[in-house]
Structure 1
Amino acid sequence: MDHSYSNTKPHQKGKRLKLNDRTTIQELHSKGYSNRAIARELNCSPSTVGYELKRGTV
């Protein structure tokens, strides 16, 4: 699925998030973005975003 509004590389299903993806998650979360909005930007699952925030690996 290709989103024209996203300026990031699409995340491949089944692959680990890279450090810059984790940094993006933290930055967008601190700006008040929802997990769904962050997931749309990274082209990943909202639950993946939630797991990363819960783990605090950024």
Structure 2
Amino acid sequence: MDHSYSNTKPHQKGKHLTLNDRTTIQELHSKGYSNRAIARELNCSPSTVGYELKRGTVPVHRDKPAEG
């Protein structure tokens, strides 16, 4: 965004996500954060977060009830 009132850091186009970014996506997603909220944290597009989750690059851990 080129607006002076924007409060987000500019995202570099074509920048690959780091392992740290992918870990952040995993942690926030498992806590129930939306793709949009995660994208705000990483200063990237919500669709980038969605693509990462859909691709399976980010292992998604969901709490399952213990089977007994």
Poorly superposed stretches of 4+, deviation over 3 Å? 1-11
The alignment-based identity, stated in percent, is 96
| Greater alpha carbon shift after TM alignment, 24-33 vs 2-11 | 2-11
For the aligned residue pairs, the C-alpha RMSD in angstroms reads 3.5
Q: Deviations over 1:5-58 (max 9, x none)?
A: 99998752211100000000000000000000000000000000000000111x
Residues 1-58 of structure 1: pairs in structure 2 closer than 5 A: 11-57=11-57
Gaps of 5+ in 1: none
Q: What's the TM-score once normalised by structure 1's chain length?
A: 0.77
How many residues matched? 57
The gaps in structure 2 that reach 5 residues or longer are 58-68
